[in-house]
Amino acid sequence: MKKAFEKYARAIQSDSNRVFVRRVMWSDMEERVRALFKKIENSPQADWYGGIRVHGGLHPDAKEIYTNYRLNQLQITCMTKLLGLSSIEDYEEIREIDGIEKKVKRVKRKNHVENGAVMWFSQSPSGGVTVFMSPCKSDLVSMNEKEIILGMYKDPSSLSDKKIIGLSVKFFRYASISSALHNQTTLDYFWRLGLLYLDVRSRKVWKTFIAINVLIIFGGAFFTILGYFLKP
């Protein structure tokens, strides 16, 4: 028992030392992400996304906590944009009539807007980094998925500039095709489906689904062949 106790105590100590280093690595990764997006966030094309903002996803007061003592997060947000569509909707307001408060029906014009897509880098307690993205959202159109995991990395240094660019390319495409202004195609649907399949949280579900379908197909084929040879 004592040997196991000491063995895993050393393992805990080793993990603690590695976590400290991984958390310190965050600052370098964040600087590289900000530098890559600085080249495009103020470009005229960014306006078509509603504007692009790179910002921390934590409470403002969290800045007072040292990087290696907090769960770090960095967000790339496509801001709100007008969809160029309006509608008329009913609403109620409280008005005082003859000294009595009454609900009065009114109508107003509503300009429809869209909240842009978001990609964010989130650090886990172990120092690893998970990259997520979520689709555009509006009161007119929304995707089935709330978010997709693009990748999981053991530490911030695993995210090279090349990998960050590759993730960003996927994000820009996702921001485009998840917009209410985009005319969805079959190719878009299967591309999104591929991303959902690669999401580590859904792999078990997909594997189960595929396994069941394979069993049904091959089971049906087996009994068809068996019935052929057992015919009287």
Pairwise CA distance, residues 112 & 83, whole Å: 6
**DSSP strands (E only) in the chain:** 52-56, 73-78, 81-97, 100-115, 118-123, 129-134, 137-138, 148-153
CA-based nearest residue to 147, from 203, 202, 208, 186: 202
127, 21 Cβ separation under 8 angstroms: yes
pLDDT values of the chain reduced to their tens digit, one per residue, 232 residues: 988 888 888 888 888 888 888 988 999 999 999 999 998 988 999 999 999 999 988 888 887 888 878 889 999 999 999 998 888 888 777 776 766 777 778 888 888 899 999 999 999 998 999 999 999 999 888 888 899 999 999 999 999 999 999 999 999 999 999 999 999 899 998 899 888 888 767 655 545 544 555 455 455 544 454 455 455 5
What is residue 204's predicted lDDT score, i.e. its pLDDT? Answer: 55
